[in-house]
Structure 1
Amino acid sequence: MLCHGLAAGGSQFTADIKHFAVAGYRVLVPDLRGHGQSSAPSTNRPDDFSIPTLATDMATMLDHAGATSVHWVGNSLGGIVALDLVARQPERFKSLSLFGTCFALNLPAAVAPVFPLLYATLGRRLLSTITAFNTTRHKPARPTIAAMARAFDPRVGAAISSHVRRYDLLDNALGYPGPVHILVGGRDTAVNLALRPALKRIGPRPNWTITHLPEGGHCANLDATQQWRHALADFWTR
């Protein structure tokens, strides 16, 4: 299960789908509501995009796919969604891998309206180019990131941001008894500011694996691809 982040989509994992499928895995790659090919509720209320709501969507998708349990790999928002669901339905997880994901955030309310403001001020094309440039130093990855940002609805971004700006799901992660894998992108500066102190407080745990990807940015599968894939395959095998 490869689950993307905010303002992205399943297309983030297009090359990874083929790679892991050839290796013998069944690969599920959803678009969260309001992303990619998944529509948004016509009401477009903030409550339509709460973390538990997004997580319940994914549980329903797994039921529809006949997948009783999965190796969940979540990037950013895709990891946050997993951290909610793993506390409510831990049996759905063979393992949990996170990259570009914070266990907790506490940002001001002014964060939520930023999405519509930026899209209106800069325009889709310019904003998507800036987003891609700031997300990765790996030039071949930038067109994928730019395309996802250009297609994204800023109203969905504002609604989701109103929820994810402030949450604390660390206890959910600590309470999950199964294998947990944290992939730390060396170039994911903003997330690391919040993530590394949390990892130090947690300390070593027998069911946790931490892998450092020095060249990985926020979307490490796009700019530290081989290292990211190898780390996951090794973790699943062990």
Structure 2
Amino acid sequence: MPDLLTADRVRIVYDDLGPRAGTPVVLCHGLAAAGEQLAADAAYFAGLGYRVLVPDLRGHGRSGTPAPARVEAFSIPRMAADLTDMLDHAAVGPVHWVGNSLGGILALFLLRHEAGRLRTLATFGTCYRLQLPRWVSGLIPLSYGLAGAPLTARLGARLTTSNRQARPLLEKLLARFDPGVGRLVAANLARYDLRAEAMAARLPILLLRGGRDAAVNAALGPTLEAMRGRPHFTVVELPEGGHCANLDATAAWRAALLGFWQGH
């Protein structure tokens, strides 16, 4: 369980699995989750000979939270910088990057100045553009405050995955998540547009679209319109996949990634 200290004194913890000489892969979770969401997948890919890095983003899982916790400490550029620090700390590159939701957003931002860090990029549950009202970020602490962490976590897990065996894991992650951190991260995610970075990229990009990820699918229109016809861009449909498609369309999700990596 390696860890590092960022420039603003936040401890970032990540897992490093598989042979050191293996082709490097990053599996990066989304908002309110942690690397534990992808632990089984990391072990699977490591068993195939890949070297797999799985971070806990700041304010999530085993990683630290800035003190004081301010909105700028959870900006997209700041959180992305944590991940380049991780790549430097692990002395790897370029990597096959797989990002769920926020984990995909941060990788899209890296395309702006750090594209050489990535060999390929795959996202799931990620929109390349989002335009939401700022007040939406307040819904996270509101739900935890009104319903309490256990009930919020239970409902969140049920809404996130149709896989009943996966729900206890998500419920655990959501129950221990700090809703104050959620508000600060979400405030930075309400309005962003990273389509230009994706359009200008020269590396292969894969969008894994879960058929049951209703909220993201409803917002994917501008992303798909911008990327239509781009030779470096591929969409793979995962009909049984929800927002965390690795948990409810596991075999198809893994097969799509392996085919993508082996093709590039």
The match for 2:138 is 113
State the structure with bigger RCO (CA 8 A, min sep 6), 1 or 2: 1
The match for 2:123 is 98
Give how far 1:202 is off: 2.8
Give how far 1:7 is off: 0.1
Give 1:66's aligned amino acid: A
Give how far 1:196 is off: 3.7
The match for 1:198 is 223
Give 1:102's aligned amino acid: C
Larger deviation, residues 191-200 vs 99-108: 191-200
Tell me if 1:81 matches 2:75: no
Give 2:154's aligned amino acid: T
Decide which structure has greater helix share: 1
The match for 2:173 is 148
The match for 1:50 is 75
The match for 1:184 is 209
The match for 1:163 is 188
Structure 2: distance between partners of 1:175 and 1:224: 30
The match for 1:6 is 31
Give 1:123's aligned amino acid: G
| Secondary structure of 2:52 counterpart | coil
Give how far 1:90 is off: 0.5
**Do 2:129 and 2:222's aligned partners in 1 also have CA atoms closer than 8 Å?**
no
Tell me if 1:37 matches 2:58: no
Aligned residues: 238
Give how far 1:140 is off: 0.9
Give 2:223's aligned amino acid: A
The match for 2:154 is 129
Q: Which runs of 5+ in 1 are unaligned?
A: none
Structure 2: distance between partners of 1:81 and 1:226: 25
Structure 2: distance between partners of 1:9 and 1:201: 30
Structure 2: distance between partners of 1:38 and 1:227: 30
| Secondary structure of 1:112 counterpart | helix
Decide which structure has greater strand share: 2
Could you tell me the TM-score, scaled by structure 1's length? 0.98
Structure 2: distance between partners of 1:109 and 1:33: 21
Give how far 1:108 is off: 0.8
Tell me if 1:71 matches 2:96: yes
Give how far 1:109 is off: 1.2
| Secondary structure of 1:183 counterpart | strand
Give how far 1:198 is off: 2.7
The match for 1:59 is 84
The match for 2:10 is none
The match for 1:221 is 246
| Secondary structure of 2:53 counterpart | coil
Structure 2: distance between partners of 1:204 and 1:232: 21
| Secondary structure of 1:140 counterpart | coil
Q: Which runs of 5+ in 2 are unaligned?
A: 1-25
Give how far 1:197 is off: 4.6
Give 1:68's aligned amino acid: G
